[in-house]
Amino acid sequence: MELSLTLFFSMISGCSIGAYLFMKLAHRYGLHDHPNGRSSHRQPTVTGMGIILVLAFIIYLFWQPFELSGLFVLGFFLLTSISFLDDLFFLKHSFRLAVQVLAVSIMVSQLPFQSFQSYGPEAIALGIAAIIFGVGVLNAYNFMDGINGMLTLHCILVLSSFLYLNETLVGQQGQALHFTNSHFLIAILVPLGIFGAFNIRTRALAFIGDVGSIGIAFIILYLMYNLLLTTGNYAYLLLFSVFGADAGLTVVYKLILRENIFVPHRDFLFKRLVHLRKWPHLTVSFIYFGVQMVINTVVILALPKTPKLSTQMSMLFIVMVALVAVYIAMQSTFRRSKSAE
């Protein structure tokens, strides 16, 4: 309890001071995201505030220096360093992609995929799939930053779901199943809450930037892989299903059109709702948050123990088909509206 309180208050004070100083420096040195044809905001807005996430990570390592995997820590700092430089200066997409592949590969290399398959072609194939999927997740999260509250609310919900599962999951023999340290989850929730005060508003005062969106995506990816490998329950992928369906189907759509999926665009459903339907940013963010919260609640309460694989696949199939149907219906409406104009 003593460590928990000390860590918690260190996080709050450190991240609050860090956020205040960063806003001062950002205004002084012009660290702003200026709107362009693909932007979702209309005024120059401070960006890169995700640096307080890195600060929280450092504070956690100070109190718990040997808790996290060294390779995960290495990958995190590699990614966030390059991402913060990208917030300051433009870096080529190919260079950023190469760093992302390297960082995710480093992180995946220490995950126990061999617990499901012996070392061999199966484990290698699974590792490669995890790397490809991971890089996709990093870039998908990066596109959420332009809509006020979208990334913050999503990450708070996912990490809160992780926290509940980490404290309540039990195995088939009644043993506790911890896939991470709950102190770490709380440590990452603190900077997200502080950032939310600047971002979850009608006119955002700051964006989290590449350093924050890529950094939090890397953390969530690491936690998700650990959750899946610890429980063997693939239905927990539904904890990300709303934005996952939007991002996944949008990527397929862009690939069919042979467009660069790493360049910012407005083809995500949530961006179309903002730009074509003219819905307020926060309305769209809270709709996504609300739907995902309902799904997470059902998944967490319905699956307290590891079910059969057939049950997992059935739940995944039913929910994803429903989300795909909604996505296709909404995108079809946008296409008809555009044709009528």
pLDDT in tens, 257-286: 777 766 666 778 888 888 888 899 999 999
- 275/228 Cα distance (integer angstroms): 36
Please state the rounded mean pLDDT for residues 28-55.
Answer: 78
142: how many CB neighbours lie within 10 A of its CB? 23
Residue 33, strand partner residues? 45
Residue 21: per-residue pLDDT: 96
Burial (CB < 10 A; 0-12, 13-18, 19+), residue 134, is buried
Q: What is the pLDDT of residues 136-151, one digit of tens each?
A: 999 889 888 778 999 9
Q: Enter the pTM of the model.
A: 0.91
Q: What is the pLDDT of residue 304?
A: 65
Q: Which two tokens stand for residue 144?
A: 């959420």
- Per-residue pLDDT for 38 more than 80? no
The mean pLDDT of 87-102, rounded to a whole number, is 91
Q: Which of 39-43, 63-67, 234-238, 293-297 has the highest mean pLDDT?
A: 293-297
